[in-house]
Amino acid sequence: MLVTDYISKGNLDEILHSSDISIPLDIRLGIAIGCAEALSYMHSMHLWSDSLVYHGDIKPANILLDGNFTAKVSDFGLSRLLLGGITLYTSKVIGTIDYMDPVYFHKGRLTPRSDVYSFGMVILEIIARKRVRQGNINLIGTFSEACANRSRLQELLDAAIANENSLKILKEMVKLAVECLALDSRKRPQMNDVAKRLRMLKKGMNGHENALPQSILATHHSWHRNNKSFSFFKKNASNSNIISELSKVRIFKEELNEITQNYSYLLGGGMSTKFYKGTLRTTLVVVRKFLDEEFKEAFINGGIILSQLSNCPQEHYHTFGLLLGIRNYGFCI
C-alpha cells in the first residue's frame, strides 16, 4: 500500500483538456519544471546506486497536481531499472503510443532519453492546451513545421497565454520540446539539461536576476536569502504532521552544519551534488548539498532538507521519493 498526499487538482490531462480553469504561463512553467526535475532525479540515481531508473510512460494523465499546482509524477507501473548500463532492449513494448519514443516502439531500445521524448510531447500539450493527436492533427508535425518556417507559431499556442510579453518564452519552450522530440535519440538533451533550461526561462519570466527558480520543494514557498523567519517542527509532532511541514522548513548554513554534524555522513552523490544523512530533532533526514554555483542560487546556502526517513532501515537511506512526487521526502521499502 502506498499513501500519498491528497491530489485536489487531479491530473494534468484533466486540467488541460476537461476543464476551463485558467492556467497562467508561470503555473504551466512550474508544472513543467516539477516534472522535469522529478525525471532528472530518477535518471541520476545511478550516481549513488548500481541502477538507473526511467519512468516509461510519461504523459499528462500521469502528472498529478495538488492544490498549489505542484507537479507529482505518478504511475510507476511501467518504470524499469537499467542494471549496469543505460540501454535496455526488449521485445515487450508497452506504454501509451501517442507519447512513446519511436525508437522504443520500432526497435525495442529503451534509454533515459525515451522519457525525454515523452516529456517533449507534454511540453507541447502544456503550451498549446491541445492533445498530441486530435483526428488528423499531430502537434509534433505542426509545431516542427512552424519552427522550421517561423510561421503560424502563435496560432498553435493557447491564446490564453500567447501574448506579446510571453511569446519569447513560449518560443523557447517550443524549441526545447522539438529538441526533445528528435528522432535521433542521441540528439535529444538529457533530462537535467531540460530542467535547467526551463528553470532559466522561469527565472527570466520573473524579470530580475535574483529570482529563484521554482523547484518541486518550493513551488509556492520560495525561499529568500534575507528572510530570517524559521518554521521548525513541533517537538511532539506526529510523522504525518512532520511530512506536511517539510516544504515549509527554512534552514540556513549554520543549522545544516549541526543537522549533518558538519556533513560527516556521506550517503552518495556525483560531481554537482552530494547527499548526507542528518537529524532534525528526532527525525532522520537527507540533506542534498549542491556543489554547482548555479544550483546553489536555487537553494538557501547550498542545502535543503530532502527526505523524511523516520523508521527506514539504514540500508535504504539511499532510496529517495520516487513514488511520492519526487523529492518532497523519502520512502523506504
Neighbours of 160 (CB within 10 A): 12
Please report how the helices 25-43 and 112-128 are oriented relative to each other, as an axis angle in degrees rounded to 10.
170
- Comparing CA positions, the residue from 25, 30, 21, 20 lying closest to residue 161 is 25
Tell me the CA distances in angstroms from 189 to 179, 195, 285, one per residue in order. 7, 10, 32
So what's the pLDDT on residue 290? 61
- Comparing CA positions, the residue from 191, 170, 192, 328 lying closest to residue 273 is 192
Residue 305 burial class via C-beta count within 10 angstroms: exposed 0-12, middle 13-18, buried 19 and up: buried
Q: What is the C-alpha separation between 53 and 262, in angstroms, rounded?
A: 31
Cell 543505460 identifies what position? 86
The set of catalytic residues is 57
Q: What is the C-alpha separation between 52 and 84, in angstroms, rounded?
A: 8
pLDDT in tens, the chain (333 residues): 455 667 788 899 999 999 999 999 999 999 999 999 988 888 776 555 556 677 788 999 989 998 899 988 887 544 554 444 444 444 444 567 788 888 876 777 778 888 999 999 999 999 999 998 877 777 887 787 777 776 678 888 999 999 988 999 999 999 999 999 999 989 999 999 999 999 999 998 876 334 434 443 333 333 333 333 333 333 334 444 444 444 444 455 667 778 788 888 777 666 556 777 777 766 666 676 766 554 444 433 333 333 333 333 433 333 333 322 333 333 222
So what's the pLDDT on residue 94? 56
The β-bridge partners of 72 are: 64
Taking the C-alpha atoms of 37, 42, 46 and 47 in order, what is their torsion angle to the nearest 10 degrees? 30
Q: Are 40 and 194 in contact (CB under 8 A)?
A: yes
So what's the pLDDT on residue 189? 95
DSSP category for residue 217: T
Bridge pairing between strands 71-73 and 109-110: unpaired
239-316: CATH architecture? 2-Layer Sandwich (3.30)
So what's the pLDDT on residue 26? 94
Q: What is the C-alpha separation between 189 and 177, in angstroms, rounded?
A: 10
- Comparing CA positions, the residue from 45, 81, 75, 82 lying closest to residue 58 is 75
The CATH H-level (homologous superfamily) assignment of domain 12-206 is: Transferase(Phosphotransferase) domain 1 (1.10.510.10)
Q: Residues with Cβ < 8 Å from 131, sequence gap 6 or more?
A: 17, 98, 125, 139
Domain ranges for the chain: 12-206, 239-316
